[in-house]
Amino acid sequence: MHWPEAALAFERSGSTLVWPFGAFEQHGPQLPLLTDALFAERILDHVLEGLPEELPIWALPTQIIGLSPEHRGFPGTLSLSAELLIRLVKEVGKQLADQDVKRLVLFNAHGGQIGLLQTAARELAAETPSMAVLPCFLWSGVSGLKSLVPAAELANGLHAGLAETSLMLALEPSLVGEQRPLDGDHVSEKAAATPPEGWSLEGPAPLAWFTADLSRSGVVGDSRGADARLGSQLENALVAHWHRLFTSLMASSWPPRGDQRRI
């Protein structure tokens, strides 16, 4: 956009900007460092291409570097501090609110910063009552994943496993290396990282885990069965899910904003 176009766009009822968030971190020996950022950007592009052009919804440039301290020790990984990422969201968000943007969606594809972006969104929303802030995670709530990915891998393939390797094979196969590790075992009785009963790496009673404690390759999961066909099915499921959600959001005036009790 040129600035006069932006001025008119943001004034429109329901004007919505979507900010893709990824990370720049190791994804095993077979996936590129920018995996999460690429996923967020490509899926969002496909979703927005499928929406009516007249809808007042646009994408911001992708935030490639995120919060990735759990992957320290693997060369190439870069991480912002939690404080800096929260400050970034708030500073950009306040400027958007000042320009009359009505909704800001944080479209995140990195599992390691879900909670942080929820916190950033809450802090931003407290200071910008005229703009709604919606922190979303790419893989959350997507119907059909259980029929595509085995339950054990869906629960425990936390990083660079079957799903992510397959999706990259569908989106950008030239970036995928030949190795298909099975690593980061934390569910078999013999594995030192297997949690006691009731605990898990991610779940109702989770651990702030670090990849180096679990995996030599950087993979936490099983990438051996990854293929482009599964990746295309995952891509279709993700695009359909977010197309449905953005369609319903843009057809509504939700959420309510600016109640005097919180200003």
Q: Tens digits of per-residue pLDDT, 197-212? A: 999 999 999 999 999 9
Whether omega before 256 lies within 30 degrees of 0, making that bond cis, reads: no
Give the percent of the chain with pLDDT over 90.
94
Tokens of 209: 């885990």
Q: Are 96 and 58 in contact (CB under 8 A)?
A: no
Give me the mean pLDDT over the 108-128 stretch.
98
List pLDDT tens digits, range 54-78.
999 999 999 999 999 999 999 999 9
Residue 262, pLDDT above cutoff 80: no
Helices and strands: H and E segment counts in the chain: 9, 6
d(CA 8, CA 100): 10
Residue 184, pLDDT above cutoff 90: yes
Residue 263, pLDDT above cutoff 80: no
Strands 103-108 and 132-137: parallel
Residue 210, pLDDT score: 97
List pLDDT tens digits, range 130-174.
999 999 999 999 999 999 999 999 999 999 999 999 999 999 999
* Sign of the dihedral through C-alpha 164, 83, 205, 68: positive
Q: Which of 81, 70, 77, 62 is nearest to 32 (CA)?
A: 77
Q: Which residues of 76-114 are buried (b: 16+ CB within 10 A; e: fewer)?
A: ebebbeeeebbeebbebbeebbeeebbbbbbbbbbbbbb
Q: Coil, strand or helix: which one is 241? A: helix
Amino acid at 38: L
Residue 125, pLDDT score: 97
Residue 225, pLDDT above cutoff 90: yes
Residue 258, pLDDT score: 81
Tokens of 4: 């006069």
Return mean pLDDT, the chain. 97
Q: Are 95 and 6 in contact (CB under 8 A)?
A: no
- ∠ CA 186-187-188, nearest 5°, is 105
* pLDDT band per the 50, 70, 90 thresholds, residue 190: confident
d(CA 223, CA 201): 18
Query: Greater confidence, 260 or 61?
Result: 61
